[in-house]
Amino acid sequence: LHFPQKLWKLVESHQFRSIWWSVDGKCVAINEGLFKEEVLGGAGPQRVFGMSSMKSFLRQMNLYGFTKQRQDFQPSASLTEFLAEEAAASAHSQILYYYNPSFHRDHPHLLASKRR
């Protein structure tokens, strides 16, 4: 699988707590500290990407057209998502938000158009 397909599977998976969709499903939210440990630090079959550094992961995000978004939007309407965001913030972890017009929770068919 190419990077966008792997990222999609990761965001859709409930196996990882470090990455999820934003409330509107248009951005990917990443708890940087936990992501480094949970995803990039994995080995063997748990290894999702062929990289272990956050810098390399973010470079791939940029190569595929993802742009970093500022956290200016409202907190999650869903209690579950709100509590997850609060827990992440209280753990002093930085939450990163990345947007790509072809990477949207409700439109997986757009992945076919993703190129580097």
Is residue 76 in some structural domain? no
CA 108 to chain centre: 15
Question: What does the pLDDT look like over 2-55, one tens digit per residue?
Answer: 889 999 999 998 888 999 999 899 999 999 999 998 899 875 556 788 888 999
Residue 62: per-residue pLDDT: 95
d(CA 100, CA 89): 24
Is residue 116 in some structural domain? no
Is residue 78 in some structural domain? no
Question: What does the pLDDT look like over 57-85, one tens digit per residue?
Answer: 999 999 999 999 976 545 556 667 766 76
Judge whether residue 114 has pLDDT over 90.
Answer: no
Is residue 64 in some structural domain? yes
Q: What is the CATH number of the domain that holds 29?
A: 1.10.10.10
Domain that holds residue 45: 3-71+83-101+107-111
Domain count, the chain: 1
- pTM for this model (two decimals): 0.74
Of 50-54, 90-94, 102-106, the one with minimum mean pLDDT is 90-94
